[in-house]
Amino acid sequence: MNDQTQVRQRTRAPGGGIQTVATQTQQTTAAPRQRDTSWGYAGDQGEQAMQREIQRQEKLREEAANRVYQPWRFYLKAGEAADLIVLDEGCNWSIYEHQLGRVDAQSGKTIYDVYEPCPKELEPVCPICVSDKESAYVLFLTVIDMRQVTSQRNGKVYPFTKKLLAIKGRDQPFFYRQWKQRGTLRGLHLLMTRDTKNDSRIGKPEVVAQYDDAQILQEFGGPAVVAQQGPRQGQVIKQENEDCYPADYGMIFTRPSAEAIRKKYPHLAGVGAMGSAATNAAPATAQAPGIQPQAQPQGTDAPPAAGIQAQAPAQNAGAQAGSGIQPRVSGNVDNGAGGGDLDDDIPF
Ligand SMILES: [Zn+2]
């Protein structure tokens, strides 16, 4: 029992047996408790606060219903391999992007899984580039990761998942070469292997085969999915055969602006702003961990809200019906659905 509790008991039960003990404690460590209602709401103010809170909750619900999630990003741990099927026809989405760190509340480790598109080619100054680290040029493809995933949240088994393959500089020429040689990347079956921690997080690609549209539809197609609960209840949250087609990059990526970045990261508020001395003398922030998003950033692979299955269990009928698509390696993604990059702390 701590001192504060004892003093409170004395206040509540004057004359009781506790009083003696509490008074003794108070004499040595605590001031007498003062009545204080200045920090709560009463009457009209209480009603106004209630209205504000209702509006805030409504806004949050609306935001949740309109939020656009990016598919999870594909990565391998050292020693892992995985079969991927490319869904894009060509290399049609490359951007400059920052990869930022955040401190994971549970493990205390810094995890580099906050992605922020960089406006340096659109505006004179990117606040992150001048205060932290330059952005990287990233080519995106949408792929099917053929490893099975068991959701830690609901125990469901997903025979495959649609993911973003984020390809950085040194790994990009391979994909352009394949595109030019084959005319299309769609249906390309790649075996990705990562030997060591120092290798690229997506591993090294090796061509296994290339499939046609019919095979892709047979293996990864499925009916539309309607949300049964949550903010999008009743809405179609996954289109028919959605896993067979690349992500809509123009929808899932938001055009960056220096202003939006300054708003989202208050410690960058003055960096590169018009008429600000900080343009020339940006505060030396820490490494990436110094950048902490205030709210769930849009660029993060956010897990789906409760009740929404971003990745519905697939039918996977093709495995029996003979689509001809067979993975070279078998295995599960052992970090669970949406596990993200939790135990891979290498920024690349
Ligand atoms: Zn930048």
Distance 124 CA to ligand 1 centre (A): 10
Cα–ligand 1 centroid distance for 114 (angstroms): 13
Handedness of CA 200, 202, 203, 204 (dihedral sign): negative
CA of 331 from ligand 1 middle (Å) equals 37
What pLDDT score was predicted for residue 321? Answer: 55
C-alpha 197 – ligand 1 centre gap (Å): 26
- Residue by residue, pLDDT tens for the chain (348 residues) are 444 444 344 444 444 444 434 444 445 567 899 999 999 999 999 999 999 999 999 998 888 877 778 899 999 999 999 999 999 999 999 999 999 999 988 899 998 889 999 999 999 999 999 998 899 999 999 999 999 998 888 888 999 999 999 999 999 999 999 999 999 999 999 999 999 999 999 999 999 999 999 999 999 999 999 999 888 889 898 899 999 999 999 999 999 999 999 999 988 887 766 654 444 433 333 334 344 433 333 434 433 333 333 333 444 444 445 788 888 886 777 544 344 433 333 332
Counting Cα atoms < 13 Å in the Cβ hemisphere of 148 gives 11
Report CA(115)–ligand 1 centroid distance (Å).
11
Q: How far apart are CA 30 and CA 286, in angstroms?
A: 40
Signed CA dihedral, 176, 178, 184, 185: sign only:
negative
Give the Å distance between the CA of 31 and the centre of ligand 1: 53
What integer pLDDT is reported at residue 69 of this predicted model? 82
Distance 119 CA to ligand 1 centre (A): 6
| Of the candidates 244, 255, 246, 238, the residue with the CA atom closest to the CA atom of residue 304 | 238
CA 231, distance to chain mean position in Å, is 19
The C-alpha R_g of the chain, in whole angstroms, comes to: 26
Q: Which residues contact 147 (CB under 8 A, 6 or more apart)?
A: 82, 83, 160, 161, 327, 331, 332, 333
Name residue, tokens 């949406």.
338
Taking the CB of residue 294, how many other CB atoms lie within 10 A of it?
9
C-alpha 164 to ligand 1 mean position (Å): 21
- 249 CA to middle of ligand 1, Å? 19
User: Distance of alpha carbon 90 from its chain centroid, rounded?
Assistant: 25
Q: Where exactly are the structural domains of the chain?
A: 71-339
Residues present in the chain in total: 348
Distance in Å, CA 203 to ligand 1 centroid: 25
Structural tokens at position 239:
């289109």
Q: Which residues of 192-221 are buried (b: 16+ CB within 10 A; e: fewer)?
A: bbbeeeeebbbbbbeebbbbeeebbbbbbb
> Environment class of residue 190 by beta-carbon count within 10 Å: exposed (0-12), middle (13-18) or buried (19+)?
buried
Ligand 1 centre distance from Cα of residue 99 (Å): 10
Distance 175 CA to ligand 1 centre (A): 25
Dist. CA 343 → ligand 1 center (Å): 26
Tell how far the Cα of 219 is from the centroid of ligand 1, in angstroms.
39
Q: What is the dihedral of CA 87, 93, 96, 100, to 10 degrees?
A: -30
> How far apart are the CA of 222 and the centre of ligand 1, in A?
39
What is the distance in A from the centroid of ligand 1 to the CA of 98? 6
Span from the CA of 96 to the centroid of ligand 1 (angstroms): 7
